[in-house]
Amino acid sequence: MVFHKGKVLLIVTGASRGLGRALTECFCDRFIASHSEVTKNENAMLTLLLLARNAQLLSEVRATIESKSPQINVFDALVGDLSLESTQDAFEKSLQKINDEFDEAIIIHNAGTVGDPNQLVDSFTLQDSQFIKSYFECNVFSVIKMTSAFLRKFASKAKHCTIVNISSLAAVKAIKGLSIYGAGKAARDAYFRSVALEMENTSVLNYAPGPLQTEMVDILKKEGFNKEFFKEEKNLLKPESTIKKLFNLLETGNYENGSHVDVFDIQ
């Protein structure tokens, strides 16, 4: 019953484009619809904390969702690179400024990079050490630190917490050229299984949204070892279609806590 709750906090990383932008806008639409005139709750409020690297696009997202309803409040829109500790610190400082108590606090870890899809496992050298460290700082370490900050803040200030990790088929199946990407996704899945085990009153979902019509896939159409697959539009999903399945899953709670669910596993 995520969308029907009165006071909800939503945090989305990578919110300025692609899946992250669609997640943010669709969540707002669904929240507003859940508090329509028929079932109106005058105290219902959706508070958002958004993160992205592109300031202009993030500003556009903020303006779009705030224009939807007075029930939508963007508390903060942070611009920064998650591989930098300064961005991670800014996130934690912003969390500390949120003093409201919530019926539901949700964080969707959507931000991520694909790495170099042309690089096979035997091609990494000592010269790649900084690239690998930076990749894992952005895609794994920042997620762990931000999740910890989120839980310290809201495990006691929210009646319930939900964590969504945007995962991938690459977390559970080897894909040629995507070893670093898959390793990062698998590490995140494993970490969030531990979160589900250790944290009470917290729902955790590792969700693989499928191959999407986004800028990340545009890269894979031109580079790597799977170009022909990604060039076939019939193989790609629209962000809105996978989001609908994700939100239905969150609404029903019909998943094992901490599990990995692929969009194609959902009827």
pTM: 0.94
Residue spans per domain, the chain = 2-208+242-262
The fold for domain 2-208+242-262 equals: Rossmann fold (3.40.50)
Token pair in block for residue 143: 């997620």
Number of H helices and number of E strands within the chain? 9, 7
Residues 57-112: tens digit of each pLDDT = 999 999 999 999 999 999 999 999 999 999 999 999 999 999 888 999 999 999 99
* Rounded distance between C-alpha atoms, residue 255 and residue 230, angstroms: 29
What proportions of the chain, in percent to the nearest 5, are helix, strand and coil?
Answer: 50, 20, 30
Q: How does the average pLDDT of the chain come out, rounded?
A: 94
Residue type, 130: Q
Structure tokens at 136: 């894992």
Tens of pLDDT, residues 224-245: 898 888 888 788 899 999 999 9
